[in-house]
Amino acid sequence: MERTKALEIVKKQLTEHRYIHTLGVEETSVALARKYGADSKKAEIAAIFHDYAKFRPKEEMREIVRSERLSQDLLFYGNEVLHAPVGAYLVKKEVGITDEDILRAIYYHTTGNGAMTLLEKVIFLADYIEPNRNFPGVESVREIAEHDLDQACLMAVKNTITFLMKQNQKIYPLTFEAYNGLLQEIKLKKEKECTG
Protein backbone atom coordinates (compact mmCIF):
# COMPACT_ATOMS: atom_id res chain seq x y z
CA MET A 1 0.00 0.00 0.00
CA GLU A 2 1.26 3.45 -0.89
CA ARG A 3 2.07 5.87 1.94
CA THR A 4 -0.37 8.57 0.73
CA LYS A 5 -3.28 6.13 0.59
CA ALA A 6 -2.40 4.68 4.00
CA LEU A 7 -2.26 8.14 5.59
CA GLU A 8 -5.57 9.08 3.97
CA ILE A 9 -7.23 5.99 5.47
CA VAL A 10 -5.75 6.40 8.93
CA LYS A 11 -6.36 10.16 9.20
CA LYS A 12 -10.13 9.49 9.25
CA GLN A 13 -9.67 7.29 12.35
CA LEU A 14 -7.58 9.69 14.46
CA THR A 15 -7.71 13.05 16.18
CA GLU A 16 -5.36 15.74 14.82
CA HIS A 17 -3.07 15.29 17.83
CA ARG A 18 -2.89 11.51 17.33
CA TYR A 19 -2.33 11.95 13.58
CA ILE A 20 0.71 14.16 14.31
CA HIS A 21 1.93 11.46 16.71
CA THR A 22 1.46 8.87 13.95
CA LEU A 23 3.57 10.93 11.53
CA GLY A 24 6.28 11.08 14.21
CA VAL A 25 6.13 7.32 14.72
CA GLU A 26 6.34 6.76 10.97
CA GLU A 27 9.38 9.01 10.58
CA THR A 28 11.11 7.44 13.59
CA SER A 29 10.33 3.85 12.61
CA VAL A 30 11.66 4.30 9.07
CA ALA A 31 14.88 5.81 10.50
CA LEU A 32 15.25 2.96 13.02
CA ALA A 33 14.48 0.35 10.35
CA ARG A 34 17.20 1.74 8.08
CA LYS A 35 19.66 1.99 10.97
CA TYR A 36 19.11 -1.56 12.27
CA GLY A 37 18.31 -3.44 9.06
CA ALA A 38 14.54 -3.93 9.27
CA ASP A 39 12.26 -3.63 6.23
CA SER A 40 11.64 0.13 6.04
CA LYS A 41 8.49 -0.21 3.90
CA LYS A 42 6.90 -2.60 6.41
CA ALA A 43 7.99 -0.26 9.22
CA GLU A 44 6.34 2.66 7.41
CA ILE A 45 3.01 0.85 6.98
CA ALA A 46 2.98 -0.63 10.50
CA ALA A 47 3.75 2.80 11.96
CA ILE A 48 1.01 4.52 9.97
CA PHE A 49 -1.59 1.99 11.14
CA HIS A 50 -0.30 1.33 14.69
CA ASP A 51 -3.04 3.43 16.34
CA TYR A 52 -5.80 2.63 13.84
CA ALA A 53 -8.21 1.48 16.59
CA LYS A 54 -7.15 4.01 19.25
CA PHE A 55 -10.45 5.90 19.21
CA ARG A 56 -12.84 3.03 18.67
CA PRO A 57 -15.46 2.81 21.42
CA LYS A 58 -14.16 0.74 24.35
CA GLU A 59 -17.14 -1.61 24.23
CA GLU A 60 -16.64 -2.25 20.51
CA MET A 61 -13.00 -3.17 21.19
CA ARG A 62 -13.99 -5.42 24.07
CA GLU A 63 -16.58 -7.13 21.87
CA ILE A 64 -13.97 -7.74 19.14
CA VAL A 65 -11.65 -9.31 21.73
CA ARG A 66 -14.48 -11.63 22.78
CA SER A 67 -15.91 -12.47 19.34
CA GLU A 68 -12.61 -12.87 17.50
CA ARG A 69 -11.04 -14.91 20.29
CA LEU A 70 -8.15 -12.55 20.79
CA SER A 71 -6.28 -13.07 24.07
CA GLN A 72 -9.16 -13.02 26.54
CA ASP A 73 -6.89 -11.84 29.35
CA LEU A 74 -6.86 -8.43 27.59
CA LEU A 75 -10.30 -7.86 29.11
CA PHE A 76 -8.84 -7.84 32.64
CA TYR A 77 -6.39 -5.00 32.03
CA GLY A 78 -6.85 -1.32 31.27
CA ASN A 79 -8.53 -0.32 28.04
CA GLU A 80 -5.19 1.17 26.93
CA VAL A 81 -3.90 -2.26 25.89
CA LEU A 82 -6.96 -3.09 23.75
CA HIS A 83 -6.31 -0.79 20.78
CA ALA A 84 -3.16 -2.59 19.62
CA PRO A 85 -4.49 -6.17 19.16
CA VAL A 86 -7.89 -4.87 18.05
CA GLY A 87 -6.09 -2.52 15.66
CA ALA A 88 -4.20 -5.41 14.07
CA TYR A 89 -7.50 -7.27 13.60
CA LEU A 90 -9.26 -4.21 12.10
CA VAL A 91 -6.36 -3.28 9.82
CA LYS A 92 -6.58 -6.79 8.35
CA LYS A 93 -10.39 -6.79 8.14
CA GLU A 94 -11.11 -3.20 7.08
CA VAL A 95 -7.94 -2.15 5.26
CA GLY A 96 -7.00 -5.53 3.80
CA ILE A 97 -3.40 -5.66 5.01
CA THR A 98 -2.47 -9.31 5.46
CA ASP A 99 1.29 -9.15 5.99
CA GLU A 100 1.82 -10.97 9.29
CA ASP A 101 5.00 -9.02 10.12
CA ILE A 102 3.10 -5.73 9.90
CA LEU A 103 0.08 -7.07 11.80
CA ARG A 104 2.26 -8.46 14.61
CA ALA A 105 4.12 -5.15 14.90
CA ILE A 106 0.78 -3.38 15.33
CA TYR A 107 -0.51 -6.06 17.73
CA TYR A 108 2.49 -5.79 20.08
CA HIS A 109 3.35 -2.09 19.80
CA THR A 110 1.98 -1.29 23.27
CA THR A 111 2.91 -4.34 25.34
CA GLY A 112 5.86 -5.88 23.54
CA ASN A 113 6.34 -9.64 23.95
CA GLY A 114 8.96 -12.15 25.06
CA ALA A 115 10.43 -12.81 21.61
CA MET A 116 10.11 -9.57 19.68
CA THR A 117 11.12 -9.52 16.03
CA LEU A 118 13.27 -6.72 14.67
CA LEU A 119 10.23 -5.00 13.13
CA GLU A 120 8.25 -5.32 16.38
CA LYS A 121 11.11 -3.67 18.29
CA VAL A 122 11.29 -0.86 15.74
CA ILE A 123 7.56 -0.03 16.00
CA PHE A 124 7.49 -0.47 19.78
CA LEU A 125 10.44 1.88 20.22
CA ALA A 126 9.35 4.41 17.58
CA ASP A 127 6.00 4.75 19.35
CA TYR A 128 7.86 5.47 22.58
CA ILE A 129 10.51 7.93 21.35
CA GLU A 130 8.93 9.75 18.40
CA PRO A 131 9.80 13.50 18.45
CA ASN A 132 6.42 14.69 19.78
CA ARG A 133 6.74 12.64 22.97
CA ASN A 134 7.82 14.59 26.02
CA PHE A 135 7.97 12.84 29.38
CA PRO A 136 10.63 12.00 31.97
CA GLY A 137 13.14 9.48 30.66
CA VAL A 138 12.32 9.71 26.95
CA GLU A 139 15.47 11.66 26.10
CA SER A 140 17.79 9.03 27.55
CA VAL A 141 15.95 6.30 25.60
CA ARG A 142 16.37 8.38 22.42
CA GLU A 143 20.11 8.59 23.09
CA ILE A 144 20.42 4.83 23.65
CA ALA A 145 18.41 4.22 20.44
CA GLU A 146 21.20 5.93 18.51
CA HIS A 147 23.52 2.97 19.12
CA ASP A 148 21.60 -0.01 20.58
CA LEU A 149 18.03 -1.00 19.66
CA ASP A 150 17.71 -3.75 22.28
CA GLN A 151 19.01 -1.61 25.15
CA ALA A 152 16.66 1.21 24.12
CA CYS A 153 13.68 -1.17 24.02
CA LEU A 154 14.68 -2.55 27.42
CA MET A 155 14.87 0.94 28.92
CA ALA A 156 11.46 1.81 27.42
CA VAL A 157 9.94 -1.34 28.96
CA LYS A 158 11.56 -0.62 32.34
CA ASN A 159 10.23 2.95 32.28
CA THR A 160 6.75 1.74 31.35
CA ILE A 161 6.66 -0.84 34.13
CA THR A 162 7.93 1.72 36.66
CA PHE A 163 5.34 4.27 35.54
CA LEU A 164 2.47 1.78 35.78
CA MET A 165 3.61 0.65 39.23
CA LYS A 166 3.70 4.26 40.45
CA GLN A 167 0.15 4.70 39.11
CA ASN A 168 -0.98 1.51 40.89
CA GLN A 169 -2.08 0.09 37.54
CA LYS A 170 -2.02 -3.53 36.50
CA ILE A 171 0.77 -4.50 34.12
CA TYR A 172 -0.05 -6.73 31.19
CA PRO A 173 1.97 -9.99 31.42
CA LEU A 174 3.47 -9.63 27.93
CA THR A 175 5.23 -6.48 29.12
CA PHE A 176 7.04 -8.51 31.78
CA GLU A 177 7.82 -11.10 29.10
CA ALA A 178 9.22 -8.33 26.89
CA TYR A 179 11.48 -7.23 29.75
CA ASN A 180 12.72 -10.78 30.36
CA GLY A 181 13.13 -11.53 26.66
CA LEU A 182 15.13 -8.38 25.98
CA LEU A 183 17.30 -8.96 29.04
CA GLN A 184 18.05 -12.50 27.85
CA GLU A 185 18.77 -11.37 24.29
CA ILE A 186 21.20 -8.69 25.51
CA LYS A 187 22.92 -11.20 27.82
CA LEU A 188 23.35 -13.74 25.00
CA LYS A 189 24.68 -11.06 22.67
CA LYS A 190 27.29 -10.03 25.28
CA GLU A 191 28.31 -13.66 25.84
CA LYS A 192 28.76 -14.11 22.07
CA GLU A 193 30.91 -10.99 21.88
CA CYS A 194 33.08 -12.27 24.74
CA THR A 195 33.58 -15.72 23.21
CA GLY A 196 33.53 -14.68 19.55
> What tens-digit pLDDT sequence spans the chain (196 residues)?
999 999 999 999 999 999 999 999 999 999 999 999 999 999 999 999 999 999 999 999 999 999 998 999 999 998 889 999 999 999 999 999 999 999 999 999 999 999 999 999 999 999 999 999 999 999 999 999 999 999 999 999 999 999 999 999 999 999 999 999 999 999 999 998 888 6
CATH of the domain at 34: 1.10.3210.10
First and final C-alpha spacing in the chain: 41
Q: Domain residues for 104?
A: 3-195
User: Residue 194 and residue 196: Cα distance in Å, rounded?
Assistant: 6
DSSP string, 45-68: HHHHHTTTTTTS-HHHHHHHHHHT
Instruction: Report how many domains make up the chain.
Output: 1
What's the whole-model pTM score? 0.96
